[in-house]
Structure 1
Amino acid sequence: MSEVSGNPTGHEPGKDIRAVLARVPAVERVLSSLAAQPLIGEYGRTQVVDAIRIATETLRRELLAGASFDPSFDFEARLVDDAMRTLAARSRPHLRAVFNLTGTVLHTNLGRALLPDEAVRAVIDALTRPMNLEFDLATGNRGDRDDLIDDLIGELTGAEAATVVNNNAAAVLLTLSALASKKEVVVSRGELVEIGGAFRIPDIMSRAGAKLREIGTTNRTHLKDYDEAINARTALLMKVHCSNYAIEGFTKSVAVDEVARLAHARGLPMAVDLGSGTLVDLAQFGLPTEPTVRETVAAGADLVTFSGDKLLGGPQAGLIVGRAELIRKVKKHPLKRALRVGKLTLAALEPVLQLYRAPELLRERLTTLRLLTRPSTDMQAQAARVQDVLQHALGDTYSVTAEPMMSQIGSGALPVDQLPSFGVAIRNATGKRGGRALMKLEEALRSLPRPVIGRIADDALRLDLRCLEAADEAAFVAQCAELHA
């Protein structure tokens, strides 16, 4: 690319600037040049005209500010190059693929669960073809989009009916709006969680028009606390599974089945917000035990809400399952239409649910579970390969070592549970604290064509390799080889 020269050979200070500006070609001339034709073919004439105008104005400002040039300087080529960079920057999507090397598998800021191949193919189908989203193929009449997955969810959870909205917060909001507006909902004080992004259970209740009735203390709640809180204004009893934090020590909580029996004895429904609900016992895969949706329904919960994009391993969604009569009330509420999901979510959700019909194949086929259960030996071998490439690229400025690490299941799903992992740690080669240098390197990694997201901790930039699968390793290594500290 031609550059404006910093060493004047054809223009001296004080010389009439008009002669210099006269050499800047008109927009139409640049537009008609051979070099501009590929840009017009790719981006269209309208965008190219605008980009060339911007480039021309920028060049004129530089010249008026006293920038000098070589007599052989090709203004036309400079303007086309500048326009090309502008167009490329404009067309780059803001939502981009990144390498998640943070060590957090279900990372809220990085999109949480990755979809399995079956779901990806289904979404592509839904994007490119008409679908029977609300059309009953058996009768030829209008259908209900929830019917697409209602039977499947019932089979997997034991619930009588189900409905789907855009996330679990919406599921809780809709449930409370439909069943507890202007009434009281009894919840243990120790379960008033914040679910991320400063969205809190009490706030959701307030927006739903329900009144929170707190019982117990932060660390201890008894069955009698629920019983004594029930009055004529009570709409339902609710439990919130604390999947994103833990209280240890002198604690007491009431089991779902006990709260359900009390609610039913008093003629009330009982709801459970499972948060990052799971459909299988994770302990069989060597992961921390979490209550399953089926267990919660079997324990007597009338409604259960949970996420689709956390431990379930599917797209962002909020599922509400439970008694058919209560689901009907929820679906009739005006908010349901505002919170409903589109065809892409349903297209992705169904094949993910289908995978759970073969639990013995789940570890292999469900991406989230595969990442959570990766053997440390695989990541250790991978770290050795990555270490050599990074050390060569970064030179003597940094020390790169392969080290054991601890991965996190998810920032909003079992954040206190960790998994043995392996990765590379980058430190200042001198052994001194390298905070500023490490932040600069972290920024360089984030600026790569496919940004690399790691984390700085204990005076090292750590790249946990748990989420770097074999299919992506070559692309990652190729980027590392081009990295310059």
Structure 2
Amino acid sequence: MSTKSHLLPLIPNVNDCLNILATIPEVQGIPRDRMKKLVRQFLAQIRKSIQADNDPGPLTLDEDGILPRLIQYVCDGHQYHFRKVVNATGVIIHTNLGRSLLPEATMESLFFAGSRYSNLEFDLATGKRGSRYSHIEDILCELTGAEAALVVNNNAAAVLIVLETLAKGKEAIVSRGQLVEIGGSFRIPDVMARSGATLVEVGATNRTHLADYQNALSQDTGVLLKVHCSNYRIIGFTSEVSNDALVALGHEFDIPVVEDLGSGSLIDLSRFGLEKEPTVQEAVSSGVDVVTFSGDKLLGGPQAGIIVGCKKYIEQIKKNPLNRALRIDKFTLSGLESILRYYLDEEKAIQQIPTLSMIAESTDQVQVRAEACVNNLKAKCKGLFQLDIVATTSRVGGGAMPEQGVESIAVAIQSESFSAGKLEKLLRGQPIPIIGRVEHERLLLDMRTVAEDEVVLIVDAMVAAIEKMKSVSGNI
């Protein structure tokens, strides 16, 4: 009798597995149909392993057999797909890990928005239908100096609706060096094409002059577009046209000037050692007619595309039917208003908005968390790893300030028994995944992006990873 034919009949049946699982506290509450589906998948994997001549181990439904693996499989299969993770990468605005974190007070506003009725589109003064944008337009104008404002669901949408409104069927003139690609392989030329605007490239990749724009003007020109290259840099022999010069040209021929700031910031972050970046206020005060920027990057709020500028152009954009498809929901509206109110006091914004506080935090403060993490790991992991506190560099992220880093402190973990890549994978596979980065055969956990209450999660995940490695190899 072959190994396959001998082992296949020993695989437990679905009902026996379900009966055992009914006594296991960890899986209580999982709907029976979901449990049955997961059990069948698990048993199918065992069957496939046997047919591939792999040793499945004991097939009994007990602690020495397949039961622990079955329980883990069912639990893993039923857990939420969208989950909390610990960001130990050092990238503050991590586009793959949820971008900007929100303050506690903002989260409270989101709870209120979802659990109670609100005046979303109800004018309390008149008792009639109101506009959802009225809740944040005034504060956006107050903070930026703009005449009017509108918010859509992300910054790509903001650029799209602005161009579709002001330049559909017309030409949009833009410097060749500003035709950037943003996240998810979306490119400015593609967004422009979708808007119905005709792209007119001027200048060279590294140098564009005012005369380039002047020579490209025609009766079909709809807008002069400036795109802030926040996600890359051209250095060396470069030149670009200032806002003042471009605005003067646009106003001379009654052509609106549009600037996409990308990440966008309401605070000059050069005070924290970063390179000077244009703020939204500076773009507005330069005379640019329409400015677009993100709400969920340097601003530190929920995902949104914010449009501010001259009232006559913003009013046209508001009336665009596309606005209905791109409008924000009540959660974005509530969260954004909460974030914007922090900016009424700049110092309070820096202290309370996580994105800004992580940028502003001193390395001494980061060092405290690193030391706490190392001390706890040494106590729990019993010398199984080489643990060091090392200087490193965090990144702002979100496409902002690509050449610049923020000095930081990381916990470096090494082992002679297994690779840093293996440990990274094990931590990533924990119930609360720990996401670090591997450098020079060490796993680095950058503590700038780790909250104080997340240190214990890292320690717990390390302990669990060790136990998993022991169960697989028998020792470490």
TM-score (norm. length: structure 2): 0.87
From 102, 105, 115, the equivalent of 2:102 is: 115
Deviation string for 1:293-340 (max 9, x for gaps)?
111111111100000011100011111111122112212222212111
Counting only pairs closer than 5 Å after superposition, residues 355-374 of structure 1 correspond to structure 2 as 355-374=342-361
Indicate the residue corresponding to 1:454 in structure 2: 436
Corresponding residue for residue 307 of structure 1: 294
Trace 1:134-153 onto structure 2 (pairs within 5 A).
134-153=121-140
Specify whether residues 465 and 41 from structure 1 end up closer, same or farther in structure 2 by C-alpha distance, changes over 3 A only: closer
Per the alignment, residue 257 of structure 2 pairs with 270
Of 106-115 and 127-136, deviating more is: 127-136
- Secondary structure of the 1:406 match is strand
Aligned residue runs from structure 1 range 179-218, under 5 A: 179-218=166-205
Q: CA deviation at 1:470?
A: 1.5
Check whether the contact 2:14–2:36 (CA below 8 A) recurs between aligned residues: no
- Indicate yes or no: 2:211 matched with 1:224: yes
1:383 aligns with 2:370: yes
Would you say the 8 A contact 1:393–1:483 is kept in 2? no
C-alpha displacement of 1:243: 1.4
Is 2:305 aligned against 1:318? yes
CA distance in 2, matches of 1:416, 1:38: 51
Aligned to 2:473: none
The worse-fitting range, judged by mean Cα deviation, of 35-44 and 175-184 is 35-44
Query: Does the CA contact (< 8 Å) of 1:304 and 1:321 recur in 2?
Result: yes
CA contact (8 A) 2:38 2:77 kept: no
- Paired with 2:292 and 2:62, the residues of 1 have a C-alpha distance of 63
Deviations 1:13-52 (A, max 9, x none): 99x989x77x96783x876789459689612343345455
Shift of 1:130: 2.1
Of 80-89 and 227-236, deviating more is 80-89
Number of aligned residues: 464
**Distance in 1 of aligned mates of 2:444 and 2:56:** 44
Which residues in structure 2 correspond to 1:19-418 (within 5 Å)?
Answer: 27=15, 35-36=22-23, 42-51=29-38, 84-390=71-377, 399-418=386-405
What corresponds to 1:479 in structure 2?
A: 461
User: What are structure 2's unaligned runs of at least 5 residues?
Assistant: 470-476
Whole-Å separation in 1 of the counterparts to 2:324 and 2:188: 22
Q: Could you tell me how far apart the structure 2 residues matched to 1:306 and 1:58 are?
A: 48
Residue 96 of structure 1 aligns to a residue whose secondary structure is: coil
- TM-score between both structures, scaled by the size of structure 1: 0.85
Q: Distance in 1 between matches of 2:240 and 2:263?
A: 19
Q: Give 1:215 deviation, angstroms.
A: 0.9
Rate the CA distance shift 1:79–1:143 in 2: closer, same or farther, 3 A.
farther
Report which stretch shifted further, 420-429 or 100-109. Answer: 420-429
Over aligned residue pairs, what C-alpha RMSD do you find?
3.3
Partner secondary structure for residue 244 of structure 1: coil
Deviation at 1:253, TM superposition (A): 1.1
Alignment partners' CA distance in 1, 2:459 and 2:205: 48
Q: Which residue of 2 aligns with 1:7?
A: none
Identity %: 42
Q: Distance in 2 between matches of 1:45 and 1:17?
A: 31
Letter in 1 for 2:142: E
Shift of 1:83: 6.4
CA distance in 1, matches of 2:437, 2:63: 44
Q: Which residue of 2 aligns with 1:6?
A: none
Task: Identify the range of structure 1 (76-85 vs 300-309) with the bigger mean alpha-carbon deviation.
Answer: 76-85
Amino acid at match of 1:452: I
Greater C-alpha radius of gyration: 1
CA contact (8 A) 2:133 2:150 kept: yes
Q: Report the Cα offset of residue 385 of structure 1.
A: 3.4
**1:474 Cα deviation after fit:** 2.5
